[in-house]
Amino acid sequence: MSFTRFPELPAELRLHIWEAALPSRITTIVGTSYEQLADGSINYDNIGIQSNLNNVTLNAMYRACKDAHDTVKRAGYKLCFRERLGGRAIPFNKDTDVLDFSQPEALQLFRNRGSMNPWEDFELEQVKHLASPCPFVRVNKWDIEMAQSESDMIDLIFTDFTRMKSLMLLSHESFNKRETCQLLAHCRGKVYFEQAYYRHRVLNPKIKIEIVDAARYLEDAA
């Protein structure tokens, strides 16, 4: 059953309802579609957004009516990433939203579209919170290895997102407190030695890097 008399409510009440409907935080998951070529290789050529309830709600509010649209804009959302997402811009709040790259290919496609010099791209500069797959994989009880492609993602993120304040590494593994401290130090150290120009940012304690349980994170984002 739909409520057809919503426009007849007092303007102040309608505004409160739209504000209450705003999601508290949006996680935008950027993924890629692909095709398998004749030689068996995989060609990643498309980029898109994995839909979730928060994204659907925000997009619906942005297009529902003027009151809802204005509410979304007052909350700090702007249409972003049109060129990077194949012509479909999405509402994004640079101060609260997390840009979550589901795989290395997604990050490569995203950063290569738009400006010819991604590190000078204003859109990338505005993103403050990011997430990517954790590069660390437990081999056995004592040994942990670093996956090269996921590790390279961290280098690119530090290079391109120059105003980043937090980076979540989404892991399906379980690490104790000592291991976590060592792994995070290893992360910063790798970028420090391989990206000399960004050493001052790697050492910045205000840039928070943490390892987060992937299953719990995705559950919260749904």
Instruction: Please tell me which residue, 36 or 206, carries the higher pLDDT value.
Output: 206
Q: State residue 222's pLDDT score.
A: 64
Q: State residue 70's pLDDT score.
A: 93
Q: Choose the weakest-confidence range: 15-24, 46-55, 110-119.
A: 110-119
Give the model's confidence band at 119: pLDDT under 50 very low, under 70 low, under 90 confident, else very high: very low
DSSP string, 22-70: S-S--EEEEEEEEEE-TTS-EEEEEEEEE--HHHHHHHHHHHH-HHHHH
Considering 103-117, 152-166, 190-204, the range whose residues carry the highest mean pLDDT is: 152-166
Q: Choose the weakest-confidence range: 37-41, 137-141, 195-199.
A: 37-41
pLDDT tens per residue, range 75-96: 999 888 888 887 788 888 988 8
Q: Alpha-carbon Rg of the chain, whole angstroms?
A: 20
Q: State residue 54's pLDDT score.
A: 83
Q: State residue 39's pLDDT score.
A: 61
Q: Which amino acid belongs to residue 43?
A: N
The one-character DSSP state at 203 is: T
Instruction: Please tell me which residue, 221 or 56, carries the higher pLDDT value.
Output: 56
The one-character DSSP state at 142 is: S
Tokens, residue 5? 């008399």
- Is the Cα dihedral 191, 195, 198, 203 positive or negative? positive
Q: State residue 1's pLDDT score.
A: 57
pTM of the entire predicted model: 0.82
Through-space distance between the first and last CA atoms of the chain, rounded to whole angstroms: 25
pLDDT tens per residue, range 17-48: 899 988 877 778 787 776 665 666 555 667 77
C-alpha pair distances (Å), 197 with each of 112, 168, 186:
20, 22, 18
